[in-house]
Amino acid sequence: MGRYLTIEELHTGIAAYVYALRFDGSDGHLMNEFFLREEKHVCSTDEMLRCADFNFNCSQKCTRTQYLIDMFNYIRTVAPKRGFIEHQQKGGLAKCRFYENDIGAISSGPFRIYGIFMGPPGNKLFIAGDGGLKQTRTYQEDPWLNQQHEIVSSARAAILNAFKSGDIGIERSRNGRSRLSQSATKMKIQI
């Protein structure tokens, strides 16, 4: 018996909708877990020596902290207003990278959040998973990142099956943007 995920709507905007995956019974969605986990490990040893404290708001000179802030701002503010456009740096250092089969990442510096981009070009919605600090050439070389990518890939396969069976769909919002049908946020995805 596998684990179950649900899809939670996080942010709506004039250009894009942002969703997140959540494991049944967990306290928060996977993207929230990413930020809570990574904010504890943002400073390198040299940066720690310059920081007054060791939390998310440690030092202006802490570049890893700034990467996380840029990523958070991109997902929460910029993308819902401007949409998800591949390789465009908007709102700081964060940007989208689309991989194959609707899977992609929001990246800022060495950090990645893997997720599912759905919808036509220029009108994509994003279903966020988890990620981490990328310290290898490819995500496949890092066991944690590879696992997070596999979770997103499994969720994508289950979502596509639900689309094919007609259980969920992508609909147009009042402003013409792609959004998941209400039934999508109520379904349980087994991975």
CA–CA separation, 109 and 11 (whole Å): 23
pLDDT value at position 152? 93
pLDDT value at position 150? 93
When the pLDDT of each residue in the chain is averaged and rounded to a whole number, the result is 78
* Host domain of residue 15: 4-190
Overall average pLDDT of the 163-184 stretch: 81
Look at residues 133, 104, 108, 106 and name the one whose alpha carbon lies nearest to residue 119.
104
User: DSSP label at 9?
Assistant: E
Tokens of 164: 């094919």
> Are β-strands 95-98 and 17-23 bridged in parallel, bridged antiparallel, or unpaired?
unpaired
pTM of the model: 0.81
Highest mean pLDDT among 74-78, 99-103, 128-132, 186-190: 128-132
CA–CA separation, 134 and 141 (whole Å): 10
Number of structural domains in the chain: 1
Q: pLDDT tier at 57 (50, 70, 90 boundaries)?
A: very low
Q: pLDDT tier at 122 (50, 70, 90 boundaries)?
A: low
User: DSSP label at 184?
Assistant: G
Helices (H), the chain: 30-38, 45-50, 63-73, 79-82, 143-165
Q: pLDDT tier at 44 (50, 70, 90 boundaries)?
A: low
